[in-house]
Structures are given as structure tokens and as C-alpha cells.
Amino acid sequence: MSTSFSIPPSQNDQSTGKTRRIVVLAVSIVFLLLAFFLWRESSNKIQSEATGSRDAVGTDERAYTSKVGVDHVEISRAENFLHQEVTTISGEISNGGDRSLAGVELTIEFYDDLNQIAQRETRSLFGPPGPPIPPGDHREFEVSFEHISSAWNMRQPVIKATAVQFAPAK
């Protein structure tokens, strides 16, 4: 007659298993956090190289923003295929200075009924791959917003050029 007995695991075996699971969990969390921060840093680096970082804006670029005009602004609202309301602002950027522009950064401020800023957005236009805007010329632009604060008073937002990127000299 054969009898089988199950031998319960010792206390030492159970604590080793728990310790191993905790170590694997901790290493996994550290790995995920490291991967996230590396991804975030690389995407910020790519974005700043593509649009010109705000830190790269010098006094010449800041002074030149007064020569950049924003004209013929129109606002439209439509529903996208996901049934979300999208607000689109279109207009023209004019280069009133004497240098060609590779890029322009706009700051768009939406106000509420108390004339306070309800939302502020910064958008870069015309990155380096496109043709530059020569002096005295203008270029159409369009920016879309999937979400605008419900406090917005539905009036035209204030739009101004806050940074420029000069085109390389030929």
C-alpha cells in the first residue's frame, strides 16, 4: 500500500518566493519609469530641434516679433468624425521685416466674460522643412483645437507672434 503525503512548503521557501516577486515587481517599475523618462526626453529634444526651442530665441528674434503681423483671422467650429467639436483658427502671417522667416510661434489667448485669460495656447507654424516667408510676404496658417475652456466668451482670441526662427542666409 502506497500512501502519498504532501509536504507543506517550509516558511523559508514561502518567504523566498515573496521576496523574488517583490524584486521582480520593483525592477519592472524602475524599468518602466526609466523608459518613460527616456522617451519623454527624446520627444522633447526632437520637438525643440524641429521647431526651435524657446531657449534658442535671442534678442534679435524677440525684437523681430513686432514686425510679424497676424491678419484676416477667421474662426470656425465643426464636428470631427469622433463627434467632438473642433475649433479652427485660420489667418495670415505677414513678414513686415527685412529677414526671411523659417518659423513663427504664435500665442493664442482665449478670454472669459470677465476679460481674464481662460486658456492660453502656443503653437509653432511653418517648420524648417517648408519654404521660408520672405520679407514683405505673407503665408496662410491654420491651427485646430479639440478642447477650449468652457469659460471662453466666444469672441476672437488675442493672437500674437511670440517667437520667430530666421531662415538661413543664402
Given a cut of 50, whether residue 54 has pLDDT beyond it is no
| 39: region left, alpha or beta (phi > 0 left; psi from -120 to 50 alpha) | alpha
Higher pLDDT, 17 or 68: 68
Lowest mean pLDDT among 11-25, 59-73, 77-91: 11-25
Given a cut of 60, whether residue 34 has pLDDT beyond it is yes
Name the E strands within 65-116.
68-79, 85-95, 101-111
Cα separation, 94 vs 85, in Å, equals 29
Query: What's the pLDDT tens digit per position in 87-102?
Result: 999 999 999 999 999 9
What's residue 13's pLDDT? 59
Evaluate whether 149 touches 110 at the Cβ level (below 8 Å): yes
Buried b (16+ CB within 10 A) or exposed e, 103-113: bbbbbbebbee
Cα separation, 168 vs 128, in Å, equals 10
Lowest mean pLDDT among 69-73, 79-83, 110-114: 79-83
